[in-house]
Amino acid sequence: MKRSTFKEEQKVTTTSNIENMEKQEALGIFSRMLLIRRFEEEAERLYRKGLVRGFLHTYIGEEAIAVGAIPILREDDYVIGHYRDHGHALARGIDPKAAMAELCGKSTGCSGGKGGSMHLFDIEKHFMGGHAIVGGQLPLAIGIALGVKLKQLDSVVMCFFGDGAVNEGEFHEAMNIASLWKLPVVFMLENNLYGMGTDVNRSRAGGSSIYGAAEPYMIPAVQIDGMDVMAVRETVIEGVAKVREGQGPVFIESMAYRFHGHSMADPSNYRDNEEVQENRTRDPIDKFRDDCIEAGKVDGNDIALVAEQIDILVQEAREFAEQSPEPTAEDLYTHIYAEPEGN
C-alpha cells in the first residue's frame, strides 16, 4: 500500500480500533458482511437451478468494501454503482427479499423484475442503481452531486466502480469535472485486479496501482486494503467528512479480490487456482471475525448466533422470491415514459 490515509501520518492499527468498538457494533459489521456472503452463495445456487438467469456477478470476497463504506453514510447521502451491485444494495439496507426477488425476475423485486441482478434500485433508500455499462454510472454520480450542490444540500454521493472503468474516457471526464466544480463525490474504486478476464497489468499503463490517476485532477487519493473492513471504514469516515465540508471529491482505491468468477459464465482460465486460493486465505469476513475474537469483543457463540440469523434471513429471501408472482404482460408496457408533472 502506497498510502492509506488522507493525512500525512500513518493511522493506528485496525485491531486497536476494534478494541474501541462496542460489541454490538462489531457484530453489526460481521453480520452485514455475512449477509452479503450468504446471499451471494444462495444466488449462485438459484442460478444453477435456473431460477436466476441472465448475468449474475457476485461480490464474494469484496464484502469488506461495501460494509466498511456504505453504513458510514447518512440517509440523505446517495449511493450509485456498477453491475456487481448486490453487496452495495444490501449494505445500504435494501430488503434481501426484494433483492432476491429481483434476481429471480419477480414483480416484487426492487426493480419490479425489469432490472435483474445488474440493475437494482431503491430510490427511497437513495440507492441510485446498479449500472451495467462500464463507467456509465460515473457521469450520473457527477449529476447527482451537481444536483446536491445546486440544491445547497450537504449530502455526499458515493460512487462505486471497478478497475475496468478507469480505462473509459468517462472516468477521466468525470474526475476532471468533479474536481473543477468541487462536487461532493466519494470515488470508490474497487480494484479486484481483473476487468472481466483481463489482468489490470495488461490493461493499464502503470500497473495495478491506480489511485495515482486521481492526482493529476487534484483529487486527494488513497489506497487501502479493501479486504480489511476496519481500514475501509476509517478511511471512508475521513473521506466522507472531507467531502461533506465542501472541499470537493476524494478518491479511495480499495485493493480487493473476487473469489468467484466475473460472472457465472466465467471459464476461470485467466488466473491460476493458486492465486485464487492464496487470496482466499485473506478472506475479509474470517479476518474480521478472528480479529474480533482475538480482541475479546465476541466469542464463538456470538458468531454462531449471527450466522444462524443470517441463514434464516437468506432462506426467507429465497422463499419470498420463489413464491412471488412474475410480472404481468401489462407490466411490459409500464414506466417506459413518466407521467406528466402534477399527475
Partner 1 sequence: MAEMLLRDAMSKALREALDEDDRSFLMGEDIGAYGGAYAVTRGFLEKYGEERVRDTPISESVFVGAGIGSAMIGMRPIVEVMTINFTLVAMDQIINHAAKLSYMSNGQLQVPLIIRTVTGGGGQLAATHSQSFENWYASVPGLRVVVPATPYDALGMFRSCRKDNNPIIFAEHALLYRVKGEVPEEYYEVPLGKARIAKPGTDVTLVAYSGMVRVAEEAAAKLEEDDISSEVIDLRCLSPLDLDTVIESVKKTNRVAIVEETWKTGGFSGTIASDIQEAAFDELDGPVIRINGPDVPAPYARNIEQLMIPSSDWVVKSVKYNFGL
What cell does 91 get? Answer: 449494505
Give min distance, CB of 32 to partner 1, in A: 24
Specify whether the CB–CB gap between 104 and 50 falls below 8 A: no
Contact string 80-119 vs partner 1 (x = CB under 8 A): -------------------------------xxxxx---x
Give min distance, CB of 211 to partner 1, in A: 20
Residue 260 sits at the vertex; the CA angle it makes with 159 and 314, to the nearest 5 degrees, is: 75
Specify whether the CB–CB gap between 306 and 27 falls below 8 A: yes
**Identity at 184, one-letter amino acid code:** P
Cell numbers 406528466: residue: 340
Spacing of C-alpha 275 from chain mean position? 23
Specify whether the CB–CB gap between 71 and 236 falls below 8 A: no
Of 70 and 142, which CB lies nearer to partner 1 in the complex structure? 142
Among 100, 148, 165, 188, binds partner 1 (CB under 8 A): 148
Among 100, 138, 240, 264, binds partner 1 (CB under 8 A): 138
Of 71 and 147, which CB lies nearer to partner 1 in the complex structure? 147
- The number of C-alpha atoms within 13 Å of 113 and in the hemisphere containing its C-beta is 20
Give min distance, CB of 17 to partner 1, in A: 34
The angle that helices 23-48 and 96-103 make with each other, rounded to 10 degrees, is: 20
Between residue 302 and residue 341, which ones bind partner 1 under the rule CB under 8 A? 334-341
Among 42, 62, 163, 170, binds partner 1 (CB under 8 A): 170
Closest Cα to residue 29, out of 66, 83, 76, 75? 66
Of 72 and 144, which CB lies nearer to partner 1 in the complex structure? 144
Query: Which positions lie near partner 1, rule CB under 8 A?
Result: 78, 111-115, 119, 121-124, 128-129, 131, 133, 136, 138-148, 150-151, 169-170, 173-174, 176-177, 180, 334-342
